[in-house]
Amino acid sequence: MNIPINNPLPLQGVRVIEFSHMVMGPTCGMILADLGAEVIKIEPPNGDKTRKMSGVGLGFFRTFNRNKKSVVLDINTPEGLATTKELIGQCDVMLENFRPGFMQKLGLDYQSLSRSFPGLIYVSHKGFLPGPYENRLALDEVVQMMAGLSYMTGPPGRPLRAGASVNDIMGGMFGAIGVLAALWERCTTGRGQEVQSALFENCAFLVSSHMQQAAMSGEAPPPMPARASPWSVYDVFTLADGQQLFIAAVSDKQWNLLCSVLERQDLLDDPSLRTNDQRVAIRPAVLERLGQILQHHKIDELSAKLEAAGLPYAPIGRPDQLLQDPHLKASGGLVPMQTEDGGTTDVVLLPMLMAGRRLGVQRPLPAIGEHTEQILAQLALSRTA
């Protein structure tokens, strides 16, 4: 690891080689790249298949592969494999998310590589950690069904996949967390290690509070659409012109504020609605009554009043609308990136600040093999050094 004297980004000087596709592995590599690591993405001769996906996969490559360098190597040929191993030896971290057993056949598994490169930190992104399921193939949707997330998301009897690749993305995040911890430990031990992150265990972590709910209550938790809410007002309401708005009042103070915003003294004066416990006991009737009132309110006018009163509310947004979201733009979380075809697109940055700054776009999205000559030339120079 070559640590510069002036370090503008936390991981500058860390070199990462990435063998991954789709979402999980690329997310891990992107996080490390955003943090300043040099991430070399190894692509097959025709490029990562994710570049040419359609439908919901159309945006995968642009979303999860920024700030990386692209090198084309055919690891299925003796020459490509030899070059690959030589390049791995010059890296601090290796990422992969291939099917179980694939890297081992090529001698690119941790056990094989660690004998030659004991300082290597090797990150495997899999469907399952070692155990009875470890050789199963997994997808985000598969583990959502297995681990109860789909059950909790959909209404009773209708399991529903979450609307984003939550396990793939969080699995990549945990891979990156493991890299940071392993780099820190290596400062003391001088040795690398294997880090494993898995979709199924990630999903179990996501539903772990529901697991404890079951352990404590002795009952299976109901799906979220059928849950017993501890708050009387915590729902989506249909307003004038068919517009929808989520509104919450999770305390007696907020209930009183909501009644004032709606200018409904009758609700404030009703003795059966004084406390949250009273309102929860007759929650369906409360929601029906509020629904009849709210259907006459326009969304823009009511939103402004709720904002002024400090009450929780939210319009039902779509992802495409976030491209024009004023807060994302003003907070620096949505910035332009040059794409591989020379155009530009706005991308969402990591959702955090470090020393008051966002970790931004450092380089254009790479074309297939754009950095092959550069990286291999550096490799050749190192042989003569």
Q: Which residue has the tokens 């298949």?
A: 49
Cα 285 → chain centroid: 38
Asked about 168 being catalytic, the answer comes back as yes
Give me the catalytic one of 74, 168, 252, 341: 168
Which residues have a catalytic role annotated?
168
